[in-house]
Amino acid sequence: MSELFDAVDALIASASALPPPAERERLRKAHGLTLDQVAGALKVRRATAGAWESGKTEPRPPQREAYARLLEKLAALYPAAPAPASGPPVSVPAPQTPAGPAAVPRPGAARVQATAAAPARSASTARTSRPADTSRRPVAKKATSEPAPAAVDPRFENGPLAVVDVEDGKVSAYCVGGLVLDVPAKSLPALVDWALNEARLGAPRLVHNGSDADPLIVLTESACERYGLPVRLSQEERLSGRLPEGHKVIKQLERADWRLTRRGFGPWARIYRPALGARRNCAQLCVPSWDALDVRHWNGTALLPPAELARLLGTYATRVMTPRGSTAVTGLELMTALHPPTRAGEPDETGRRHSEHNPGSLGKQAVECAPCEAPDGHPLLAHLPRFHQRTPAEMLMEEAYDWARPLTDDECLKRYLVGIDVNMAFAAGANGAIVGLGAPTHVTRPVFDPKLPGSWLVDLSHVATDERLPSPFTPRGNRPEGPAWYATPTVAYAVELGYPVAPAEAYVRYENGRFLDGWYQRLRDAYVETMADLGVTAGLTPAGFLTAMDGYRQRDPQLAIVLSAVKATVKGGIGKLRERPHGGGWRPGEPWPALRRPTWRPDIRATVISRTRVNMHRKMLKHAAATGQFPVAVLSDCAVYAADGPSPLDFLPYKDGKPLPGGFRLGVSPGMVKHEGTQTTLWAEAVREEHGPGLNLARYLKDGHVTATDNGE
């Protein structure tokens, strides 16, 4: 009987149903697979797999059953739209907020892939991801706990970006949601035209007074070759950050009346023509093989197949914004996108509207910083001797913590050192921060006002704090030795601790506001949503949170990269507020390009860092008062404590599941903490004996590997 069953199975396998040829190609490309990969998996030649896909030949058992299984699984991930029952096609917007890379379902929720609607197109821009004769109706969805996606602007129905790739001479654009478009452009100027006028790429403005996001075109190595660009930049081009002015592709753009911004044609290139009325005429190009995607934050993203690259960048673009450069540049651009410098004013007597200053923004013009806020080499300091070392009484030094102390005898008796790390610490420091919006005003002997942002020259050396805690007033944690410049939150904390302050002078900003609140909220939501996709949600118990965090990055490596990019957007954006000169040719005392930006604001950076450091000290102080425990090392947003057990729950004072009010709290939201790492006390003694007693253990606690001697500089 078993032989009969085997014969029946073989008969069925010999006629396994296969989708039409066009659908076979769509499914393969939607998952980012090459013909070589398919052929390798099925153990056939590439030409054979290509013939099956095109319908020239049909596979035979046993490969036919395997090929049918492959296509069936891909169809489940990337369903095609069903044909309409009757009547004209119905245009239904597609969701533009992917829950993450489609190949990996979110833990605990079914992954659903919807299709987008579009009016009829020319044949040159036909969608290769769907049969040409199907309607635009969305696929019926399974019941899930996820809310229904919001409607998408039909102008940008194909998403914020496309990854352009070439295979077998055919140019394809991989978009979010598994969508693949044919690209008819035969030159780079034509590709830009196509992206702006046919491809329906881009994203709607984030706020009413803002601008729509320009389409982003990501060029793979094969696309670079197709459009006459080098796959890699030469050493000279890498140093300059751009192609030479005489490059043939730049000449093509010039002949087609396209322009480049001042940064030229580099890893991130902005190509534009003057705006037509209110409509921008600009596209952004990204070239991963030119190191556009920094491996520190994007971790191998540039090596992904085009479909996966489109999903990953599309998730970031939807949750944060369409990237316009590095994560740092995007963090800065997000500030402006959420608070545009101008808005439309009331119509004049002719009915014409003119732009006017947008209240709450930084405006269109850069403002001068105070001398104490200027970094070394700034034009305001050109009068100083060349090798002059500025003191705290001359320079505002608001930086993150880097502090460590020897272990006490009692701490040496404990078995472990446990590190906790504040989630999105600088984002939390930006939340609710009152920052200056305009230029500073110099005042002498002012009365301190904790609600007035600025820089204050004040002596806080009389403020005594426990030596087992770092001082809240200095990055190195040492007690101030005399007058020094501080941002408003630092001085306000001294007042909060009950100490009198008497500033000698100040640079204050009477025009101020909570400029960063929207920025914080956007990045907070991106972080929390991505963590939820990785299985770490809000509302977990402390133990449940620690369990969910165990190995969370391995649940979806691509989403883990998105998470890293979101965090880098926060830190990089804050850092860009005081961008230093880079590249050759600059000399101290000369201006550099960043100074021309309204967002070059070292005072805002100082305020955020000050609040972040004060928040950290406040929590450590609350913890010490309640438990008698003090940190042995602090590095930025990480604090290390000695404990009898290896878990944060071995020293954090939870009572009936509730944390210490005002202290450290385990959880996923910004400002809460997670487990950074654990090492033994014996490890600490060994590394400090080898590298010196000043070694900051917080720097190496995560994996225990000391990469270099910490000399305290």
The pLDDT of 512-523, averaged and rounded, is: 97
CA distance 71 to 12: 17
Helix (H, G, I), strand (E, B) or coil at 259: strand
CA distance 286 to 571: 22
Q: Which amino acid is at 28?
A: R
Please give the structure tokens belonging to residue 205: 């403005």
Nearest to 574 by CA among 347, 327, 405, 396: 327
pLDDT bin (cut points 50, 70, 90) of residue 707 is: confident
CA distance 362 to 356: 13
Average pLDDT, the chain: 87
CA distance 519 to 526: 11
Helix (H, G, I), strand (E, B) or coil at 444: strand
CA distance 423 to 193: 42
pLDDT bin (cut points 50, 70, 90) of residue 353 is: confident
Q: Which amino acid is at 144?
A: T
pLDDT in tens, 27-80: 888 887 888 788 888 888 887 888 888 887 888 888 888 898 899 888 888 887
Neighbours of 537 (CB within 10 A): 17
For 28, half-sphere exposure in the C-beta direction (CA atoms, 13 angstrom radius) is 24
Torsion-angle region of residue 454: left (phi > 0), alpha (psi -120 to 50) or beta?
left
- Burial (CB < 10 A; 0-12, 13-18, 19+), residue 194, is buried
The pLDDT of 651-677, averaged and rounded, is: 95
pLDDT in tens, 76-120: 888 875 444 434 333 333 333 334 444 363 333 322 333 333 333
Q: Which helix (H) or strand (E) holds 4?
A: helix 2-13
CA distance 600 to 577: 5
pLDDT in tens, 523-550: 999 999 999 999 999 999 999 999 999 9
What are the chain's domains?
A: 1-80 (1.10.260), 121-136+151-323 (no CATH)
